[in-house]
Amino acid sequence: MALNNRYDFVLLFDVKDGNPNGDPDAGNLPRLDAESGRGLVTDVSLKRKVRNFVGMTKDQTEITESLTGEKKRFEIYVKEKAVLNNQHKRAYVGIGKPELLEGDDKKRKGGDAVDEARRWMCRNFFDVRTFGAVMSLGVNCGQVRGPVQLTFARSIDPIVTLEHSITRMAVSTEAEAEKQGGDNRTMGRKFTVPYGLYMAHGFVSSFLAKQTGFGEDDLELLWQALEQMFEHDRSAARGEMSTRGLYVFKHDSELGNARAHDLFARIRPQLKESVAAPRDFDDYGMHINDAELPAGVSLIRRAG
Amino acid sequence: MNINQGRKKMKIFCLEVIGDFACFTRPEMKVERVSYDVITPSAARAIYEAILWKPAVRWQVMKIEVLKPIKWITLRRNEVGAVVSSRNAQAAMNSGSGDLGLYIEDERQQRAGLFLRDVAYRIHAGFELLPNAGENNTSGKFLDMFERRASKGQCVNQPYLGCREFAAAFQLVDSPDALPAPIGESRDLGWMLYDMNYGNRASPNPRFFRAELKSGVLDLAKVEVRE
């Protein structure tokens, strides 16, 4: 079931006493746009969470009959070992064209099957279907451009970074223990953002969806992942993170019926007058202008 | 109709393009990405193509106006340093079994990028019809189509500033001398990528030109382009 609509969406999520996305250049401090003081979360960080969510919730060997009757699978190509360490061989549904790999004409090796291989990868792997992938298929590294485009998330207001020194009541080596005369303590550091509300924008192109076979069922799964991805991404570093809003603008047409950024401007979280420093989602007022949407555009509130 | 005739009659569309970030990667610094100071003609062309492109049409960027001071931000991200191998995919398809997943810890690369921040450009471009356009592809048809789409904010995919994560807001400008005025800055940008020459489909060749920003305007109408 191919997509027949353009979608533009706004994702709002917050963090409380955690580090939403560390900056490897700055010793894992929360990412910061130094000039404006606002926090950043990269697009790839959000995509990672979507992948992990799908990898966790979808049986990685499941074959789903999609609405078109085409068999689809929800495997994740780019995996994180920490989450999915199940390296075992699995049976793949081949397309059964071994004769293509025979013959000594190296140039044509798989030449006719390149498109087929690309389609097969898209059919099997949710993340290839959704975000695209660079594949060494055919000429000049055929790329699959995915229909889903995500931007960096920025915090609504400037964030502050707190640095905490913490102690561990153990040491890692004998030598350290001797040096400390049996005190056996290690100091560590941890950075948190006391509170930050972040907003990211995203786009779904139906034209590119047709090229990768990204369908309505995949879209539903994507929305679900964006709503729930933080619920399955708990860790010591992250603190409390959760999706606070997912506002989807659905266009009646494939080309769209309005400028994406005019639609985005209708979603405006604003710090309440009485609050000096935000520490909770309730410190923000959500101003959502859903009055007189442009013709052919509807707002779907998936969350918030 | 030869191409020169078409060029005389080419209607110029002006788009105002705005974004939080941008990265027009210098080809000589691809590993740790470093952006050019301003948008390249090829990235500008891609913005127009995201709104309308047909095989019969070739976009030609004539002028780029820089509306905001050139500002930078550096960011380091974890990236994957591998591509999907078609051979492995083929093998798995044919044998019916295989291990295709890719573990990011094994293939991780940390790459810094020097990106542009808070950019805004006014881009002037027109298109010419290619000689093999065919009977029912008239430029009038595409002119109307582009104008309709750009003024309504319609696009095939959201245009972006060099990389897909840096989405661009675009707006059709009716009066190209509109405010704001370009920044009053002149600098020699050196040799800059003009576009890729796709004459050889298997390995496109880059073409370069000598870019000079004059009072915030990059004039591309008469630049000399070299392979």
- Which tens digit of pLDDT belongs to each residue from A81-125? 644 434 434 444 444 443 443 333 333 344 556 677 788 888 888
- Per-residue pLDDT tens over the stretch B172-224: 998 767 778 888 889 999 999 999 888 776 677 899 999 999 999 999 988 88
Q: Which of A24, A137, A151 has its CB closest to that of B110? A: A24
B70: closest CA among B105, B36, B116?
B116
Average pLDDT over residues A155-180: 88
Q: For chain B, say whether A226 makes contact (Cβ under 8 Å).
A: no
| Residues of chain B contacting residue A88, judged by C-beta atoms under 8 Å apart | 99
Under the banding of pLDDT at 50, 70 and 90, the label for residue B19 is very high
The reported pLDDT for the residue numbered A172 is 82
Most B CBs within 10 A among A4, A74, A152, hence the mutation to make, goes to A152
Q: For chain B, say whether A167 makes contact (Cβ under 8 Å).
A: no
Q: For chain A, say whether B146 makes contact (Cβ under 8 Å).
A: no
B193: closest CA among B67, B53, B28, B70?
B28
Q: For chain A, say whether B160 makes contact (Cβ under 8 Å).
A: yes
pTM of the model: 0.85
- Judge: A110–B86 Cβ closer than 8 Å, yes or no: yes
DSSP 8-state symbol, A235: -
DSSP 8-state symbol, B151: H
Q: For chain A, say whether B29 makes contact (Cβ under 8 Å).
A: no
Low-confidence winner among A92-106, A151-165, B15-29, B181-195 (lowest mean pLDDT):
A92-106
**Minimal CA separation from B183 to chain A, in Å:** 20
CA–CA dist A219, A203 (Å, integer): 12
CA distances from A271 to A58, A192, B93 (A): 38, 20, 54
* Average predicted confidence (pLDDT) for chain B: 86
Tokens of A70: 């085409």
Residue type at A278? P
The reported pLDDT for the residue numbered A100 is 40
Return residues 239-278 of A near B (CB < 8 Å).
253, 255-262
The reported pLDDT for the residue numbered A23 is 92
CA–CA dist A113, A89 (Å, integer): 23
Cβ atoms of residues A142 and A165 within 8 Å: no
- Per-residue pLDDT tens over the stretch A212-227: 999 999 999 999 999 9
| Residues of chain B contacting residue A84, judged by C-beta atoms under 8 Å apart | 101
% of chain A at pLDDT higher than 70? 83
Return residues 107-136 of B near A (CB < 8 Å).
110, 112, 117
In the A/B pair of chains, how many CB contacts fall below 8 A?
Answer: 181
- Per-residue pLDDT tens over the stretch B142-179: 999 999 999 999 999 999 999 999 999 999 998 767 77
Q: Would you call B92 helix, strand, or coil by DSSP?
A: helix
Instruction: Considering only residues A292 and A185, tell me which one the structure prediction assigns the higher pLDDT.
Output: A292
- Per-residue pLDDT tens over the stretch B62-94: 999 999 999 999 988 888 877 777 777 777 777
The reported pLDDT for the residue numbered A13 is 97
Q: Chain centroid to CA A249: how far?
A: 19
- Per-residue pLDDT tens over the stretch A25-83: 888 999 999 889 999 999 999 999 999 999 888 877 777 766 666 778 888 887 766 44
Asked if residue B34 has pLDDT above 80, the reply is: yes
3 state SS for A66-99: CCCCCEEECECCEECCCCCCCCCCEECCCCCCHH
Q: For chain B, say whether A157 makes contact (Cβ under 8 Å).
A: no
| Residues of chain A contacting residue B111, judged by C-beta atoms under 8 Å apart | none
The reported pLDDT for the residue numbered A122 is 86
Tokens of A118: 């690309």
A298: closest CA among A5, A32, A4, A1?
A5
Return residues 27-46 of A near B (CB < 8 Å).
31, 33-35, 40, 42-44
Tokens of A303: 């969350």
Cβ atoms of residues B211 and B224 within 8 Å: no
**Minimal CA separation from B127 to chain A, in Å:** 20
Tokens of B106: 């094994």
Q: Would you call B58 helix, strand, or coil by DSSP?
A: strand
Low-confidence winner among A64-73, A121-130, A159-168, A265-274 (lowest mean pLDDT):
A64-73
Under the banding of pLDDT at 50, 70 and 90, the label for residue B107 is confident
**Minimal CA separation from B73 to chain A, in Å:** 8
The CB density around residue B72, as the number of other CB atoms within 10 Å, is 12
% of chain A at pLDDT higher than 90? 57
